[in-house]
Amino acid sequence: MPNLIHGRNAVLEAARAGRVLKAYQAAGLGHDPRLEELTRLTRVEVVPPARLDAMAPGVNQGVAAELKPRREWTLKQLLDAQPSLLVALDSITDPQNLGAILRSAEVAGANGAIVPEHRSAPLSPAAVKASSGATELLPIARVSGLPSAIVEIKRAGIWCVALDPRGELKAWEFDFTQRVCVVVGNEGTGVQRLVKERCDARVRLPMAGRVASLNASAAAAALLYEVMRQRALSDETRS
């Protein structure tokens, strides 16, 4: 079945966003407020558990849904909306990391995400589930190349900041109250050289323990919460 997602949170968020054509629920599930809300939002067909497992192999939590086509955003459309916080993903090839970073971005109040067409995990059911529905709420623009996209973002008056273990600034030394695009690279090679060179700054997350680094999604979450912290303090100061 095309364009199928599974997982209770992912399906519920897709229904809230109006993207579900039809939901499927395994018979015999216990009480869950999420399932009750789902039945209020969209049509739900109760099916035998074996049928649902065949439709959505793996840990599906007893729920799956067929989706309407996703809206395709261009980078220009994203920038025309005057975003204050964007997240760009550079070579994130693991769907779990992709989904987790998009989840953190949405929770942190990001206005959109930028994902390259090549050298990136697709928005697969695994990525959608890992995002807990954030992929249904966050505008996502696909770009042919991230280096050229960084140039466009900067022309729009947005600072581009790469998360880099060897960055010259600690995360809290950069002013994230400005309009900013946070660039996150993969765990192996990080942000590619040309992208880093085109960014305005490179920030690092200092490590106090013996483990040398965080994984990509954990590092992105930590940096995005620093963005939230600075902006919350700025709002309190103005009020």
Residue spans of alpha helices (H) in the chain = 8-16, 33-41, 49-55, 75-80, 95-107, 125-130, 134-137, 146-155, 193-198, 216-238
pLDDT at 113: 97
The CATH number that applies at residue 48 is: 3.30.1330.30
Residue 156 sits in the same domain as residue 85 = yes
**Could you count the other beta carbons within 10 Å of the beta carbon of residue 96?**
17
pLDDT at 2: 54
pLDDT at 1: 45
pLDDT at 214: 83
The pLDDT of residue 21 is above 70: yes
What residues are paired with 140 via a beta bridge?
113
Residue 104 sits in the same domain as residue 206 = yes
Residue 18 sits in the same domain as residue 117 = no
**Which residue has better confidence, 52 or 126?**
52
Q: Which of 50, 67, 84 is the last residue of a domain?
A: 67
Structural domain boundaries, residue 234: 75-238
Total domains in the fold of the chain: 2
The CATH number that applies at residue 126 is: 3.40.1280.10
φ/ψ of residue 65, rounded to 5: -155, 145
Residue 26 sits in the same domain as residue 134 = no
pLDDT digits (tens, 9 = 90+) for 94-113: 999 999 999 999 999 999 99
Residue 49 sits in the same domain as residue 102 = no
The stretch 24-29 carries a mean pLDDT of 93
Mean pLDDT value across the chain: 91
Q: Kindly report the pTM of this predicted structure.
A: 0.80
Residue 221 sits in the same domain as residue 103 = yes
Residue 228 sits in the same domain as residue 127 = yes
Paired sense of beta strands 169-170 and 159-163, if any: unpaired
